[in-house]
Structure 1
Amino acid sequence: MRNKILSVATLLLIVVSFTYAQKQATILEVPGVDQYCKINQGGISILPSGRFVTPAGELIRITHDPFGLSLSPDGKKAITIHNGVITLINLKTMDALRVPSYDKTIISPVKDGSFLGVAFAPDSKTVYLSGGDNGSVIIYDTEKLKMTDSLSLNGKVNGKQYEDSFTSDLLLNNANNELLVLDRGNFRMVRIDLKTRAITASIPSGRQPFGLALSPDKKTAFVANVGMYSYPLIKGATPKNVDSIMISHHPYGNDTKEAIEGTVVEGRHIPGVGSPSSPEAMSVFTIDLASNKIINKFKTGYQVGQMIEGAEVVGGASPNSIAVGGQLAYVTNATNDNISIIDYKNHRLAGTIPITTDKRLDHYRGLLPFGICLSKDEKTLYVALLGFNAVAVIDVPTKTTKGLIPTGWGPSRVKLSADEQELYITSCRGLGAGPNGGNGFVAPPQGTYIGDIQLGLFQKLPVPDDEKLKAYTKQVINNTFLSKEVEIDPANPLPVLPGATPTPIKYIVYITKENRTYDEVLGQLKHANGDSTLARFGVNCEYTLPDALKRQLPNFKVTPNHAKAAQQFAFSDNYYCDSDASIHGHHWMLGVIPNEWVEANSNVSKTAKIFSSAPGRRFPGSTGSMDPEDYAERGGLWEALERKGVAFYNFGEANETAHNREQWQDTATGSGHVVMVPMQKALFKHTSYNYAGFNTNIPDQYRMDQFEGEFTKMWIKGKKKMPALITMQVPNDHTADVRPEDGYPMKQSFVADNDLAVGRILHFLSRTKYWKNMLVIITEDDPQGGVDHIDAHRSILMLAGPYVKKRYVSHKHANFGAVLKTIYNILGVSYVNQYDATGTLLQDFFTAKPDFTPYTLEKNDTRVFDAQQAMKKYNKTVDWRKIEKGPDMDDEEHERNERKRLDKGDKD
């Protein structure tokens, strides 16, 4: 049993104690530690994570994010479903046809979006497709390439009217000539008679029904629900008063008394969301098809509040996919890295199968089991590990992992051929993105946006025998991490493991920005691997402007502070965001690997209808915050710090929800909220409610006034000292539509605003008493807005502080795992997931000889951005004299007393 294993913290302490005595430590790192990203279809591709992928068998690259897969009954074809796209695959020749075609000659039957569901009819030419956002099932002829019918899930059933349906998974029940369809809008399963085209039943399911399966005898349906809550509106909210009734921040922390029962915020009555232990939350329903009655509601996996391996469970199990045998059903619990066994004949949970990979990693989470299939003899399960780039082969009788099969990046589905001789596997991101600009780059037909250039993958391979599986398993492990012995250097400020050696760094400021790639900001810098032709946000970069502007704007400067700080301190030219867009980025950077719900939900067209009778239409969507559906088993950065008792404070992260308002006057947190979504419990009381998070209608200069004011009040003039970690969002380099009247005459203006803010942060912090023990980490949450000649994921990583090397360029691989490993090692906090544990050790950035020289702000080019104009609507001005002076001096009497206290030996 996993809960009998020593805690991760205990194991780490044993390792550190032993290895420090030996002057060496064993660490784990990604195999691509000294390499740049690349795609090599015939060999080893290097991902932004630093992991390798070497997919087994034959493969073809297809449209990104194939979340649905079906095989034709005649065994000749496969179909994958993506958002607004289907791919038809000839399994013999491995040829693929994309619908719609890039030349628009073949149109898409699901052009309004599609989600998960796809099934072949017995004729092997007709397919049933999820219509996603429009709440329909599309019937399509794959030979004529023509839609033949569309069946709506909306309408009246047994006297109840259903509207705003959202089609999720579906399957064909040949025994009754019917379709079983999940409606995530109305939290139900729908039965459709294919002869009459009529809805015959509407059966309630849990929240956000996601996975659907049928027993071999066709008598029992299974629904996996990935939703945690049905999110309420503020009491009394209507379409007419919605703007006036909103509150300025999240209403409560998750799984608190207020979240369960409701509360009052800013004079508004806030309904609770109930308990995460609700039967409707993250559960599996079994449904008797003879009576249309729910038989059981199973809570699979670990439950919120349980203690597992010494850590409290904070995230639901996220049961998502189901394989069914004659008596037992198997459910993938993405968050727990395990499989629940349901004895549905006897109406009970019958145990758990842990998925294992390597004993050096198995105490961490991050496999994210997703798609699953079962052999006919019910002795073998094949499970797509979304987070591990492999399919796990599970021996059912012994409940053990027999081995691993290498896949592309982010495997989503796995199927066995009818004769069980072949496996078919889809992967979301395939071999990665590769470059999307630069000399010699030729734009592909799908375009250069990171989400499009990054193709998915379809694999076909023979079912491996034991010998082949053993070789595959070794390959997967080698693709994922390497183990190495390193010297413990007590002089290096970055310990090799959490708390392994003392460090002079006591304070970390972790700054995230939005959407930029390396080349477009730092591509001009010398002694680094950049492409200056792409540096549209650089310095003296007028050569990147249209011809009409080149002569008008000589010495055009967008990011003088980025250029100066990078060269005064240290930066990486081999750093990558693991993310494509903000919803992924703010998960990754805060230590939560996006699960199957985040991945699928962020890649589907969807329309919010918050006043609809369909509760799923108020679902948390694709945002930069983490919703309760997204939480990892042990949480992420916040929970890791809380467990260790390390003080932290947050400016701007996690203040966004899917349906929030973002207007220029929403300055308290950047948002107005009407749909009530909890914030992570660990964070709720440690976040600023006077700092604007993501909202490009608010100048970053306004945020700097908020930050400097609150910092000064709490940690310079106040009695408390600065916490060990500050997280901070500075988002305006995301860019937005130009607003000349607000000082933003061009897209570059937003980046210039952001650059000035970064300069102000460094200028301010480096003049506080904390600077002598500080590390500042500056990065982006994702690179989706830019171009890069190495890889579309390559982005900005700059480190600053007295113990950071000066004028240094790191060429070692880095990603969010490496950044979090740096934070955890310095603060003595145990790793949370496999990406932290295997991240690159960035000791090359640091020096034992400090240089306390402060950073001095570079003023912005006012032709690009007018800071005074941006602040005008707030009746504020930018006080350059005050900014250049830096923070107010510390209270001398207070500091004198502090000195006396320390001289007496009081170190607290």
Structure 2
Amino acid sequence: MHAPAGFASPVVPVYHNAGSISAPTSIPERDTRDVLHPITVNATDKDWVTHVLPTGRIVSPVGTVDGTPNFATNVVALGPDHIAVLANGATRAQTVTLYDTKTLRAVAQLAAYKENADPRAASSTLSTVGHQSLYQGIATGPDHTFFTAGGDSNDVAEFRFEDGKIHLLRRYPLQWQAFPKDQYPYYYQGERKPGKARLFYPDAVALGPNRRHLFVAGMLSNSVARIDLKTGQTQYLNVGPYPFALTLADGGKRLVVSLWGADAVAVLDPTDFKSLGTVAVGPQTGPDNLAAGVHPTALVARTDGPQVYVALANTDQVVEVDSQTLKSTAVLNDSPYPDAPPGSYPDALAIADGKLFVANAGNNDVAVYDLASGKALGLIPTGWYPTGMTVSQDALYVVAAKGLGTGPNVQHQWVGNMMDGLVQKIPLNELSEKLPGWTKAALDNDGFSEPQRRAREAEDQKVTGFLRKHIRYVVFILRENKTFDEDFGDYKPAGAWADSKLDLYGPRQVPNLYDLAHHYTLFVNFMADGEVTAQGHQWTTAASDSDFVQRTWPEYYSGRGLVGNPGWTQPLIPVGAPGKADFHPSSDNPYSDYRNLSALGKWTNPWISYPERLFLFNDLLNHHVSFEALRQI
């Protein structure tokens, strides 16, 4: 994460650690934030796993923790003795790592290489496979087997854990399926290269009720595939835009599919492999829709009825759907406090002991609800950006994509893959005793406690009053891919906010930048909570970035089959060029993103990539503030 320089004549520090969030003074300085072995968090080790994020928020995971490779996105139980963690970061090799459920120690690992496997990496516990990608989906089968969704490799791979190693058993190839031209996102959203076939892009897998079939979601085909595991024969069925997750429901008589880009879930008959209908969980998408999507993502089914719960990542809600009647029957508000703005990003679900567990990627916690009443029971602190959960042997296991956050890059040089993930084990029998304390810690970590919110509101009013008194016009200039100290580390008026040891450029190299800083306002502690450009543009103009951007950028940054989504905020139709997706250098209309969407080619998916509250220019429009947007290319 970098702090881009922002301009709005004096140096103005943005108040530190918003809402009086403060880190324990005893947090040790280390040369890494990687967790290299299991740690059971107690009074002695608590400070070791407590870290301050770039925005001033704190992560302090509880239970037992261990490290995972970069960007862990899913975890499943592999029998009673192991869990399997899938990580699909923007890395040379993506991984599945097996952990012992008793000790949480890693016991075996699979490294899947985009191109040829590196034979030097193999060992007694590390297996390698070439020309294989992994993307989010993993499901377990009988006899220590598991299946992974291949994303860019356009297949499902079957593996077995045996004799201490992971062995490849078989790969099931899949084919891209065309979808109707009037079905969102209207155009194929995969990478276009000469000689590269279009991709089904598997992103979720589920074993059928009799273990005869494997069901696979195809994100770029708007389809689900059913593979006969004996013959390999594959059938396809269109289900709607961007299928994300799959779960069996109603005793195996229903297969429910969350549709990331349709504000709905699809319900299938897994036996006859036919559609039974869809259930709307948000406003219908279409060319006239001006709102961001609600982003139906994670699913979990009750074992005692037809109910399925679906996380709406972009609106901080969980919806209960009856898979028999095809109706939504309840809505659970997953906000951390009353009238909170969206940003919790619920994206993983689990059920155990009459409780519903909801992982909130935006809040770095797991919310616990009573399943019968929907009453909020408390919060469990996690690592940064929790993305997957499972229950096994009376414990809840949670994976967090960004672990404990960034530290000195002594082992990695690129910000996109320098953070290890984290796996966390929380014994369920500790909930009744520890949940009240964990809840307080989670709220304090995010600045969500009532005293913190009151202090922040008072500080906001003070700062806003000052700015309105002294500033009439604002020119916001965003400079990309430079930290504050690279440009201004030796800028004397910044005082203690600048670090001259990190300075790379001065007034000779960037004279216009220094002239702006000298004559106008320089924000010296203006943070953007994103590792790369795709996130950074949303953070700086929307104060958030969507779950879609977070989950897809590692794939297209590493050349794994996806096109770069419109995660930044440039308008998509230039003035004077109706129906074309070319960018215009100066006179773009910021609100034209929503005109002629079906004619925009690959840029037709703002609903799925934009955060719920949209962007700065939308807020200005809502408050009748005049503005002009210019973009340098």
Q: Do the structures match in fold with TM over 0.5? A: yes
Contact 1:115 1:130 in 2 (8 A): yes
- Tell me the residue number matched to 2:391: 416
Q: Could you report, residue by residue, the CA deviation over 1:523-559 in whole angstroms, capped at 9, with x for unpaired residues?
A: 33454365545433346xxxxxxxxxxxxxxxxx423
Q: How far did 1:451 drift?
A: 1.8
Q: 1:56 aligns with which of 34, 57, 62?
A: 62
Q: Which moved more, 1:291-300 or 1:629-638?
A: 629-638
2:90 matched to 1:88? no
Contact 1:133 1:607 in 2 (8 A): no
Alpha-carbon distance in structure 1 between the residues aligned to 2:242 and 2:149:
15
Secondary structure of the structure 1 residue equivalent to 2:619: helix
- Tell me the residue number matched to 2:434: 468
Secondary structure of the structure 2 residue equivalent to 1:650: coil
- Tell me the residue number matched to 1:234: none
- Tell me the residue number matched to 1:292: 273
Alpha-carbon distance in structure 2 between the residues aligned to 1:289 and 1:94:
35
Secondary structure of the structure 2 residue equivalent to 1:590: helix
Q: 1:185 aligns with which of 220, 238, 244?
A: 220
- Tell me the residue number matched to 1:511: 477
- Tell me the residue number matched to 1:214: 248
Contact 2:70 2:401 in 1 (8 A): yes
Q: How far did 1:218 drift?
A: 1.6
Secondary structure of the structure 1 residue equivalent to 2:437: helix
Give the AA of the match of 1:449. Answer: W
Q: How far did 1:314 drift?
A: 1.7
- Tell me the residue number matched to 2:201: 166
Contact 1:206 1:285 in 2 (8 A): yes
Alpha-carbon distance in structure 2 between the residues aligned to 1:115 and 1:518:
34
Q: How far did 1:506 drift?
A: 1.4
2:493 matched to 1:528? no
Contact 1:355 1:400 in 2 (8 A): no
- Tell me the residue number matched to 1:399: 374
Q: 1:282 aligns with which of 263, 277, 280?
A: 263
- Tell me the residue number matched to 1:272: none
Contact 1:585 1:624 in 2 (8 A): no
Alpha-carbon distance in structure 2 between the residues aligned to 1:288 and 1:409:
37
Q: How far did 1:167 drift?
A: 1.1
Q: 1:68 aligns with which of 60, 67, 74?
A: 74
- Tell me the residue number matched to 1:648: 627
Alpha-carbon distance in structure 2 between the residues aligned to 1:628 and 1:423:
33
Contact 2:542 2:613 in 1 (8 A): no
- Tell me the residue number matched to 1:429: 402
Contact 2:300 2:349 in 1 (8 A): yes
- Tell me the residue number matched to 2:50: 44
Alpha-carbon distance in structure 2 between the residues aligned to 1:501 and 1:150:
60
Contact 2:249 2:323 in 1 (8 A): no
Contact 1:301 1:338 in 2 (8 A): no
Larger RCO (CA under 8 A, 6+ residues apart): 2
Q: 2:345 aligns with which of 368, 383, 387?
A: 368
Contact 2:269 2:276 in 1 (8 A): yes
Secondary structure of the structure 1 residue equivalent to 2:321: strand
Q: Could you report, residue by residue, the CA deviation over 1:287-323 in whole angstroms, capped at 9, with x for unpaired residues?
A: 0112211112111145679xxxxxx982221111111
Give the AA of the match of 2:227. Answer: I
- Tell me the residue number matched to 1:589: 540
Secondary structure of the structure 2 residue equivalent to 1:223: strand
Q: 1:578 aligns with which of 529, 533, 537?
A: 529
Alpha-carbon distance in structure 2 between the residues aligned to 1:387 and 1:81:
19
Q: How does 1:736-775 map to 2 (within 5 A)?
A: none
Alpha-carbon distance in structure 2 between the residues aligned to 1:402 and 1:350:
21
Q: 1:149 aligns with which of 170, 183, 187?
A: 170
- Tell me the residue number matched to 2:549: 598
Q: Could you report, residue by residue, the CA deviation over 1:201-233 in whole angstroms, capped at 9, with x for unpaired residues?
A: 211111111111111522211111112xxxxxx
Q: How far did 1:122 drift?
A: 1.6
Alpha-carbon distance in structure 1 between the residues aligned to 2:143 and 2:128:
21
Contact 1:164 1:617 in 2 (8 A): no
Q: 1:100 aligns with which of 78, 98, 111?
A: 111
Q: Which moved more, 1:387-396 or 1:347-356?
A: 347-356
- Tell me the residue number matched to 1:537: 505
Q: How does 1:245-394 map to 2 (within 5 A)?
A: 281-301=262-282, 314-325=291-302, 326-359=305-338, 362-375=339-352, 379-394=354-369
Contact 2:23 2:58 in 1 (8 A): no
Closer, same or farther: CA 55–187 of 1 in aligned 2, 3 Å: same
Q: How far did 1:99 drift?
A: 3.6
User: Which has more radius of gyration?
Assistant: 1
Contact 1:85 1:111 in 2 (8 A): no
Secondary structure of the structure 2 residue equivalent to 1:458: strand
Q: How far did 1:85 drift?
A: 2.4
Q: Count residues with an aligned counterpart.
A: 522
Q: How far did 1:31 drift?
A: 0.4
Closer, same or farther: CA 76–43 of 1 in aligned 2, 3 Å: closer
Contact 1:409 1:429 in 2 (8 A): yes
Q: Could you report, residue by residue, the CA deviation over 1:612-644 in whole angstroms, capped at 9, with x for unpaired residues?
A: xxxx97784666658221233332322221221
Alpha-carbon distance in structure 1 between the residues aligned to 2:522 and 2:623:
29
Contact 1:129 1:138 in 2 (8 A): yes
Q: How far did 1:120 drift?
A: 2.1
TM-score (norm 1): 0.53
TM-score (norm 2): 0.75
Contact 2:263 2:285 in 1 (8 A): no
Secondary structure of the structure 1 residue equivalent to 2:320: strand
Q: Could you report, residue by residue, the CA deviation over 1:349-390 in whole angstroms, capped at 9, with x for unpaired residues?
A: 11211114223xx33111111011122x6x311111011110
Alpha-carbon distance in structure 2 between the residues aligned to 1:450 and 1:402:
37
2:453 matched to 1:483? yes
Secondary structure of the structure 2 residue equivalent to 1:645: coil
Give the AA of the match of 1:226. Answer: W
Identity %: 26
- Tell me the residue number matched to 1:232: none
Contact 1:284 1:300 in 2 (8 A): yes
Contact 1:57 1:461 in 2 (8 A): yes
Give the AA of the match of 1:332. Answer: A
Q: How far did 1:188 drift?
A: 0.6
Alpha-carbon distance in structure 1 between the residues aligned to 2:51 and 2:629:
37
Secondary structure of the structure 2 residue equivalent to 1:508: coil
Alpha-carbon distance in structure 1 between the residues aligned to 2:315 and 2:373:
19
Q: Could you report, residue by residue, the CA deviation over 1:846-888 in whole angstroms, capped at 9, with x for unpaired residues?
A: xxxxxxxxxxxxxxxxxxxxxxxxxxxxxxxxxxxxxxxxxxx
Q: Could you report, residue by residue, the CA deviation over 1:226-269 in whole angstroms, capped at 9, with x for unpaired residues?
A: 12xxxxxxxxxxxxxxxxxxxxxxxxxxxxxxxxxxxxxxxxxx
Closer, same or farther: CA 534–504 of 1 in aligned 2, 3 Å: closer
Q: How far did 1:75 drift?
A: 3.4
Contact 1:354 1:400 in 2 (8 A): no
